[in-house]
Amino acid sequence: MTVGEKPLSRIVVLISGSGSNLQSFIEASKEGNIDGQIMAVISNRPGVKGLERASNVGIPSIVVDHRAFASRQEFDRYLAEVIQGFTPDLVVLAGFMRILTTDFVNQFVGKLINIHPSLLPAYPGLNTHQRAIEAGDSVAGATVHFVTPELDGGPAILQVEVPILSTDTPTQLAARVLVEEHKIYPLVAQWYCQGRIVMDKGIVFHNGVEVGKSGLLFSNESEH
């Protein structure tokens, strides 16, 4: 499949759960908002809803159960082989709840992206919304970033801010952040497929211009 004369980018999505961000990619692809084709969805957990989302639209869905491997390294080696079999241009972590080894990351560096539910570098790891509320922050958000061996430490591409309300619970805040995640993640993928976003020596460039450490800040104008 092609867009004009340019082949569609080949995308592999890794999931561990419901796949709501995967669904945003499926819909963006269907609407022609990503110049890419999802070649496969791979989950480290069997029976999750994300696999169903993929199979419902004819995308190959594959389980590589981490529990079947003796070590993290063996799992990562096999997972990398499965991914490489699809010769991807872009590998998307969409709620993939595994810490990846340095050897794995280095195989895909520069074409491996993740979304994290905080305004990195604030709150890497888990329980981000609870931590933001407990800290008394006025805003939370999400960050799309390139993946490097450092957990949630790769250079930021795009962030979106979400106000924290005085009445917010972590669950309520998470739901509002997720709505924004579904906007910015496919957008970054489209930028990547168009060649508008690249990482070179750990620095992110958007349209040839160096992006600051916090990445770009999403607004309605970001989509243009």
**Pair 18, 95: CB distance under 8 Å:** yes
Catalytic option among 66, 116, 206, 224: 116
- Side chain identity at 87, as an amino acid letter? T
55-60: which pairs have CB atoms within 8 A and are 24 or more residues apart? 57/26, 57/30, 59/26
Sheet of 36-43: strand order equals 61-63, 36-43, 9-15, 90-93, 112-116, 139-146, 156-163, 216-217
116 is catalytic: yes
CB hemisphere CA count around 193 (13 angstroms): 28
Distance CA 159, CA 11 (A): 22
Active site amino acids:
116
